[in-house]
Structure 1
């Protein structure tokens, strides 16, 4: 109760996040619809990127030919959107795929799609082998396939009704059932595990790990360190381990936030006897952190943390047993330290 009371207040004071990352279902559905309607022009994509995603310089995210048509690389566009700080339609409280997950899933997708004759897409028949690589069992795979079949039948029905003035061969429409990169990401998002959350020991481990793990010249976490975390999840066949070597140029502080979110969702350790910060609570505090991180550097300054605590104390319905959190922390605070502080008061 205390957790949720503390977090809900943020929505009252902020309309959009100061910065955000990854891709959620709403964003993926908009992209899928654009491709289904064959509206892949420079004008349409520029408008969508600017107005829907809130990115001021949209042309940096895709390449078009001289005519501005049919030359947008969907995979590259999705990757750039996932890694780009966006201003609208984004929230850590909304289930999303982090940039790491987007990059990994697209890599696995491409490996399978490159072996087909469908312009880089997958057929429904190819999908089970891809999902097996991602450690889904037969029952889960069957559910995914059946859901897609229903969705495809509905889509064909709407298409036929829309084009009643023309003659259509139903078999030819069925043959068009292909899965694009955006379709695949939406599938993986919809079957994403809820996760068991994080216990105090895991949070402490992240604090120590972040302080001591090697960083690159650009200030991001060394890729091999991130790879170790993803391998521990066992979320894919070991033959794909090399795909966890992410080449990121973002700050280590932002990467830490994503890694803690992914761990909360994908860690297979069920916490029975230990007190746990559940996944939805981790999401909400991540959203708080992003909103109050005014300069979007992945740190809380003492001033930013004071602002957050002042509002939290004012809006709390029921003060925690240990009293309200105090701003007695010296120096900048990354998300792992912030979560540890809040856990101390709201467990």
Structure 2
């Protein structure tokens, strides 16, 4: 298997993603800038959701009927944007992304630490290492994050107006003005996110079986306790935070499956020694391809959508594997785990 590099980029950019999930760094930076410039009004948020995120019928999570700056709860906005299907292309293979599950979990841990100090929506630099320890970051990773923020803190010039705002927030000194908001924290977690080992054939086949047999809710999403077990197995947080991994979702199981496979590719600590491995970059590439061809955003490729992808792969992207290009013989819908299982043929 090899990409036909001379034409693959052209092929990719001709495709339009049907939807995207989670939040990437560009999206988080835009939100952070909006808040720091005190331009968080209903009009600005609605415009942001529509024009930058491609959400066609945005509903702003305002706490009150007010157009005053910063009247939107930042945590609620971040969760709404993470879970909402966005028509703009996220390009997972190009951008590091926090999935909605990760956004919800990280914000829950952040909020617990902030509330324990009677702080509404922010942490100090001194409090940050405790949160990162709870999320099982290594000491060297924590030191690197703190050192980077200290440099940023020294460069910041505090105006008289900023000083008065700090007093209103009950800070004790001018240096305490350097605060970490929910959006800042998500950017930190995004920057420290592991690249991961990808997925091998055995893991992908387990996900095929998982999707076919896992318990589902009445709304058709995966049972929260089943998802919780997957996140616990990653070892990405102290056990006292396990209850925060009981995610509530009204999304379809097929859409949640894609998210779980992406998180597993990045966070699983299983090193692969055999052939037939899709590294994280390739998993993200195929996720891009999958959502680009999933025109109705239901988490499945219809027979026609799958055939369309194979025709593109045959013509533009891949050399034919020994067993021939994949075929969806029974004409059934293809979920992401089934799709990746068929794609392994190009890597063996």
* Fold similarity call, TM over 0.5: yes
SS of 1:2 mapped into structure 2? coil
Equivalent runs, 1:211-250 vs 2, <5 Å: 211-250=212-251
Shift of 1:345: 3.2
Matched residues in 1 for 2:136 and 2:290: separation? 32
Q: Which runs of 5+ in 2 are unaligned?
A: 162-171
1:66 maps to 2:65: yes
Q: Which residue of 1 aligns with 2:204?
A: 203
1:31 maps to 2:35: no
1:79 maps to 2:62: no
On the 8 A contact 1:302/1:331 being kept in 2, the answer is yes
Shift of 1:176: 1.1
User: What is the TM-score normalised by the length of structure 1?
Assistant: 0.91
Shift of 1:8: 4.5
Q: Which runs of 5+ in 1 are unaligned?
A: 164-170
Q: Which residue of 2 aligns with 1:148?
A: 149
Shift of 1:326: 3.2
Q: Which residue of 1 aligns with 2:125?
A: 124
Q: Which residue of 1 aligns with 2:305?
A: 304
Shift of 1:259: 0.3
Deviations 1:189-239 (A, max 9, x none): 000000001110000000001100111000000001101100100000011
Shift of 1:140: 1.0
Shift of 1:51: 1.0
SS of 1:125 mapped into structure 2? coil
Deviations 1:136-171 (A, max 9, x none): 1211110000111222333x14x76xx9xxxxxxx9
How many aligned positions are there?
337
On the 8 A contact 1:200/1:340 being kept in 2, the answer is yes
Matched residues in 2 for 1:178 and 1:80: separation? 23
Residues 87 and 4 of structure 1: CA distance in aligned 2, closer, same or farther (over 3 Å):
farther
SS of 2:141 mapped into structure 1? helix
Shift of 1:317: 6.0
On the 8 A contact 2:19/2:89 being kept in 1, the answer is no
User: What is the TM-score normalised by the length of structure 2?
Assistant: 0.91
